[in-house]
Amino acid sequence: MPLFGTDGVRGLANGILTADLALTLAQATAVVLGQGRTAEARRAEGKRLSAVVARDPRVSGEFLVAAVSAGLAASGVDVLDAGVIPTPALAFLVGDHDADFGVMVSASHNPAPDNGIKIFARGGVKLPDVVEQRIEAAMEWEKLLPTGAGVGRIQRFSDAEDRYKLHLLGSLPHQLDGIHVVLDCAHGAASGVSPETFKDAGATVTVIGADPDGININDGVGSTHLDNLAEAVVRLGADIGIAHDGDADRCLAVDADGNVIDGDQIMAILAVAMKERGHLKEDTLVATVMSNLGLHKAMSEHGITVRQTAVGDRYVLEDMNANGFALGGEQSGHVIMSEFATTGDGVLTGLHLVAEMAHKKKSLAELASVMTVYPQVLINVRDVDKDRCADDEGVQAAIAAVEAELGATGRVLLRKSGTEQLVRVMVEAADAESAQSYAEKLAAVVKERLAL
């Protein structure tokens, strides 16, 4: 089974993800990412490779960062340890410092016992599949390690957070004056920098979920648990709630009445604002096939094209990078603003969302009304032959029949899981009852036709 998943290497810390694995992975990364023309030019000038390393607050990150740093330094790479910062901050610092690559130790929205290792290439961009495969293969190679003065140094990146904060503030088109924001930092990597940045941008800030102790990350807080945030916003009479996940590459929101504003709605708001300012290249938004039908309809009404990719922010990024598009993301809250970031950045997204409220002097609910959210039902059909889904005549006939009945008022999507033996059936319709009924009908056909 491949070591790399959809977003780096992830698993139970000290289970799958051991210190030995982290050290070996770091050494293999140094070998593979040290083979490019830029790296060779640095060596010709007598310079060593450099890497920025960071982590989220979970307790296992301490020994994993130590192992990664040891593996890199033993391979002749100079390491700048940025401490606890968000994943998008690490990506920014790789480019800002002109480092050869970066390594983030985080399991994002996963619970505290898990951890992960994400690798960013020069410029702070995620690695393509082929490079990850080369790194995995290199873990088996015998490595010639430097000695004496050839080994790398490990130093503290003392102004890492300040650089990132200044970058975020410099991106804002408007200050946040007059807006009361409740921030839920998921007891994660943004617990320090996010509240400070929102305050410096002019917002009134109330903070919850910002007391990390190494084991409480994502525990009933953050973007996967929005109830506490919604309650706090309503109780305090705040204007908006912003929720990050553990490594702050996501942003979800709640309005003044506690209603959830998801990634599709956030993208709709930002896309319209960016088009108005002339910053939305080719008036195009990039989203995945899971984005709501309401997003497509709303963008069409505003003269904005929506390009679709496979599920996963890496595929959104690939399309954006290939075509130079300025905005893309996922329903889950991964929003990428390529003018300012090379990956999804939850703090950046939240700042720009609140800036739009302050600029237009409108509530979040008013801004979000640009898009009507169609009810969406997702059913996971387990224990079926997922590989026959696209070719089975009975399944395809059932899909065609439902699509004909829905017409322009709904949408059907069937896709196989990349990690489990199941097929995901998703139906959108004008009302929740219809969506549920059609989804159950299709799920029954999939269960019958593709039974193992």
Question: How far is residue 313's CA from residue 54's CA, in Å, rounded to a whole number?
Answer: 21
Annotated binding-site residue? 247: yes
Query: Catalytic one among 50, 75, 106, 108?
Result: 108
Count Cβ neighbours within 10 Å for each residue of 47-58 and write b for 16 or more, e otherwise.
ebbbbbbbbbbb
Pairing of strands 204-208, 180-184: parallel
Question: How far is residue 260's CA from residue 172's CA, in Å, rounded to a whole number?
Answer: 24
Annotated binding-site residue? 319: no
Pairing of strands 50-55, 411-416: unpaired
Q: Do residues 71 and 138 lie in contact, with contact meaning Cβ atoms separated by under 8 Å?
A: no
Question: How far is residue 67's CA from residue 24's CA, in Å, rounded to a whole number?
Answer: 9
Active site residue 108: yes
Question: How far is residue 327's CA from residue 181's CA, in Å, rounded to a whole number?
Answer: 24
Q: What is the DSSP letter of 373?
A: P
Annotated binding-site residue? 417: no
Short-list 238, 251, 75, CA closest to 150: 75
Q: What is the DSSP letter of 386?
A: G
Annotated binding-site residue? 108: yes
Q: Do residues 57 and 191 lie in contact, with contact meaning Cβ atoms separated by under 8 Å?
A: yes
Question: How far is residue 61's CA from residue 88's CA, in Å, rounded to a whole number?
Answer: 17
* Three-state DSSP state, 395: helix
List the beta bridge partners of residue 10: 116
Structure tokens, 64: 């994993």
Question: How far is residue 239's CA from residue 178's CA, in Å, rounded to a whole number?
Answer: 9
Q: What angle do CA 24, 245, 380 make, to 5 degrees?
A: 90
Q: Which residues participate in the annotated binding site for Mg(2+)?
A: 108, 245, 247, 249
Q: Which residues participate in the annotated binding site?
A: 108, 245, 247, 249
What are the residue numbers of the active site?
108
